[in-house]
Amino acid sequence: FLSLVAEVCCGFFMILILSKFWFLALLYLLWLYLDWETPCTGGRRSQWVRSWTVWKYFREYFPIHLIKTSDLSPDHNYLLGFHPHGVLVAGAFGNFCTGPSFKNLFPGLTPYLHIMPIWFGCPFFREYIMSAGMVSASKESVSYVLNNEKGGHASVIVIGGAEESLNAHPGSLTLNILKRKGFIKMALKHGAHLVPVFSFGENELFKQVANPKGSWLRNVQEKMQKIMGFALPLFHARGVFQYSFGLIPYRQPIHTVVGSPIPVKRNLNPTTEEIEQLHALYLQKLRKLFEEHKRNYGIPEHKSLIFE
């Protein structure tokens, strides 16, 4: 989804370069150079863009819901781990970049959705995603958000990343998380409370071409993901006027459940053992969150999360 919009923006930029308005493209390149660090320093959100009416229809299409299970005090900073990635990451965008739900449920907190730095190198597209409240997923960017002494900042990180999108099949409960511990280290260094978030229905929006691990397709996808930085799942869903084939996501409800915070004391130099302990506690809390709510959202009793 992001790559499609980015391609349109890049295409427009190339047309601008080749047209009689090429000087505008040069001016924008100068602006890009001067503004390069902004995605790592809190971005440049626009409440006007975040409140566009189109996002209301976007959220109602599925529909997308945000569920609160515990208060989050604005006196602290938080690192919200979002699961699963899915293909579209619709729950993360719909709840943390648009609409009033987060602000109403968690007053005093400002959410920042971290995405791959590569997207901020795309002309014009970078302005759009920053205006929606997205910032870079680089260490510098996460540190900037969590370093707010007054509290009230919430970093939202899709822990499984692009690699996890290759597991985004309907009914899949596999999360790429066992080797992902950088977010734990960041939480410790900044004393940011950890909050597990599970988005029920995220993997039901598209059907993906079968790509089991070890298959030639999966091997190609994983190699391309390592080269380009983002994955290329082969997916399909419905069309505009028919339901058999297309790229429009299925109308499946998404319930993004925000768990209880895990208190974290600031530790500028955490040991490997301390990181492992907090990571294990996070996995425990994430599994508990899933188990407590899965019955409400159509997950069979015998199914549980699979950590890889």
- Using CA atoms of 113, 115, 120, 126 in order, give the dihedral in degrees to the nearest 10: -40
pLDDT tens-digit map of 27-48: 989 999 999 999 999 999 999 9
- The pLDDT of 236-252, averaged and rounded, is 86
pLDDT at 75 over 90: yes
Are residue 15 and residue 103 in the same domain, yes or no? no
Are residue 134 and residue 13 in the same domain, yes or no? no
What pLDDT is recorded for position 92?
96
Interatomic CA distance for residues 9 and 127, integer angstroms: 10
Are residue 72 and residue 2 in the same domain, yes or no? no
Burial of 192 (0-12, 13-18, 19+ CB in 10 A): buried
DSSP-derived pairing of the beta strands 207-208 and 235-236: antiparallel
120, 39 Cβ separation under 8 angstroms: yes
Q: How many domains does the chain have?
A: 2
50, 98 Cβ separation under 8 angstroms: yes
Are residue 78 and residue 29 in the same domain, yes or no? no
Are residue 155 and residue 6 in the same domain, yes or no? no
Are residue 245 and residue 102 in the same domain, yes or no? yes
Are residue 165 and residue 280 in the same domain, yes or no? yes
Largest CA distance in the chain: 63
Interatomic CA distance for residues 187 and 264, integer angstroms: 7
pLDDT at 1 over 60: no
125, 14 Cβ separation under 8 angstroms: no
- The pLDDT of 235-254, averaged and rounded, is 87
pLDDT tens-digit map of 136-171: 999 999 999 999 999 999 999 999 988 899 999 999
Percentage with pLDDT > 70 across the chain: 97
- Average pLDDT of the chain is 92
CA distances from 305 to 198, 272, 283 (A): 11, 25, 10
52 DSSP 8-state letter? -
What pLDDT is recorded for position 104?
96
- The pLDDT of 72-88, averaged and rounded, is 96
Domain holding 162, by residue range, is 40-307
265, 187 Cβ separation under 8 angstroms: no
Determine what percent of the chain falls in helix, strand and coil, rounding each to the nearest 5. Answer: 45, 15, 40
Are residue 4 and residue 122 in the same domain, yes or no? no
Q: Which CATH number is 93's domain given?
A: 3.40.1130
CA atoms within 13 A on the CB side of 43: 30
Burial of 178 (0-12, 13-18, 19+ CB in 10 A): exposed
Interatomic CA distance for residues 153 and 145, integer angstroms: 6
Are residue 253 and residue 104 in the same domain, yes or no? yes
Q: How far is C-alpha 133 from the geometric centre of its chain's CA atoms?
A: 11
39, 117 Cβ separation under 8 angstroms: yes
What pLDDT is recorded for position 4?
60
pLDDT tens-digit map of 88-138: 899 999 999 998 999 999 999 999 999 999 889 888 899 999 999 999 999
186, 143 Cβ separation under 8 angstroms: yes
Are residue 20 and residue 119 in the same domain, yes or no? no
pLDDT tens-digit map of 263-305: 999 999 999 999 999 999 999 999 999 999 999 999 999 999 9
Amino acid residing at 184: I
What pLDDT is recorded for position 7?
63
Are residue 268 and residue 255 in the same domain, yes or no? yes
Are residue 31 and residue 45 in the same domain, yes or no? no
